[in-house]
Amino acid sequence: MAVFSSKPKYAEADVVHGYAEGCTADDPGTVAAFPPRHRGVDFLLPEGSHVTVDVVRDTSGEWEVGYYRTLLKCDGVLLIGGGQSTRVAGIIALSQGIPVLPVAAFGGGASQVWVNLDKVRNDTDDADIALLGGDWSADAAPRLVACLLRQRERHEARLRDVQRRTRAAAWASAAGWLVALVCMCTAVAGLVTAGPPRRADAHNLSVLIGAPLLAAVAGAVIRSSFETESRWLRACIRGLGAGLVTVLLYVASQLLSVPTLMDRLDVRRLLFITVPLGFTAGFTFDLVFERLRSGAVGGAPPGSDLLSTSAPSVGQGQPGG
């Protein structure tokens, strides 16, 4: 428990006394007191009380600094009456998602925080809001404590859910990067597995189409990693589609230029063009699909203009080269 004054005119003294009555030898308690510098505290606890009072000195010369700073370390905030500083403390607690218990029955700053709590809710429900705004009664204290504990349970459950989703997002991101790395390495390995120029068959056609498609998947996953919410599986599908359309259009344009391309197909030489082309198509899949929707399917395939300065035409020299 953290309190800031032992003066009788403040509610902290009564709260500490009530807290001390509930502590036993088997379940002792600790009160952390944060008085201003050069001031002491004395709650006049009865002899034999099972409560330890620890006085914590703040380095700041202004009590407000230590007061508001301590709020950020609390598991819950109880507000009773008070003035402007109580209201500000409640607003800080609400903004930080700290469970807060503004008892509106005694008015003051706590009642104003109760009004704000009804708007933002945090970890409270309608029953909690009604309880906090009700009149004081003999059984109000245990019900209010139960309310604060419920808020704390919901708060911890929400934090666990956030942590779980953060871990899941981190694992998904790592899996996406691993998929991109494997796809990129496999695409580059196609340069090694591609045989010498020969008549087109199932093997060299698979390498010719498969390697740039894997590069397109890698490009799409890498592009997805830059977004706020990385969904690499969806990116894989988009990249696969963009890469397939782009590579097939490129091969089709070469077949129009060299009708005998399949008679002596040089897959390795073509892969130096189609693998970067597939990666570019996957990385810019939104541009590819936009051009397809606009009907720009004639001429060079989307993205191939990026390689036009370095890509040799297979119509020059040896067919398939």
Compute how many other C-beta atoms are within 10 angstroms of the C-beta atom of residue 36: 16
Summarize pLDDT for 133-156 with one digit per residue, the tens: 999 998 998 999 999 999 999 999
String of b and e for 243-277 (b: at least 16 CB within 10 Å)? Answer: bbbbbebbbebbeeebeebbebbbbbbbbebbbbb
Q: How many CA atoms lie within 13 A of 43 on its CB side?
A: 30
Task: Give the span between the Cα atoms of 150 and 158, in whole angstroms.
Answer: 12
Q: What is the pLDDT of residue 292?
A: 66
Query: Between residues 301 and 253, which one has the greater pLDDT?
Result: 253
The token pair at 274 is 């189609």
Choice among 139-143, 171-175, 313-317 with the minimum mean pLDDT: 313-317
Q: What is the pLDDT of residue 230?
A: 67
Summarize pLDDT for 185-222 with one digit per residue, the tens: 999 998 888 888 888 888 888 999 999 999 999 998 98
Q: What band does 169 get if pLDDT is binned at 50, 70 and 90?
A: confident
Q: What band does 8 get if pLDDT is binned at 50, 70 and 90?
A: confident
Task: Give the span between the Cα atoms of 64 and 89, in whole angstroms.
Answer: 10
Q: What is the pLDDT of residue 259?
A: 87
Mean pLDDT over 224-240 rounds to 81
Domains of the chain: 2-162 (3.40.50), 168-307 (no CATH)
Q: Helix 267-283 and helix 140-193: axis angle, to 10°?
A: 160
Q: Which residues have CB under 8 Å from 118's CB, separation 6+?
A: 129, 133
Q: What is the pLDDT of residue 296?
A: 56
Q: Which residues have CB under 8 Å from 149's CB, separation 6+?
A: none
Which candidate, 11, 16, 62, places its Cα nearest to that of 36? 62
Q: What is the pLDDT of residue 313?
A: 44
Which candidate, 304, 277, 288, 311, places its Cα nearest to that of 209? 277
Q: What value does the mean pLDDT of the chain take?
A: 84
Instruction: Tell if the pTM clears 0.85, that is, is over it.
Output: no
Q: What is the pLDDT of residue 295?
A: 63
Summarize pLDDT for 74-118 with one digit per residue, the tens: 889 999 998 998 999 999 999 999 999 999 999 999 999 999 999
Task: Give the span between the Cα atoms of 219 and 107, in whole angstroms.
Answer: 61
CB 3 within 8 A of CB 77: no
Instruction: Say yes or no to pLDDT of 131 above 90.
Output: yes
Task: Give the span between the Cα atoms of 200 and 221, in whole angstroms.
Answer: 31
DSSP-based helix, strand, coil % in the chain, nearest 5: 60, 5, 35
Query: Between residues 232 and 86, which one has the greater pLDDT?
Result: 86
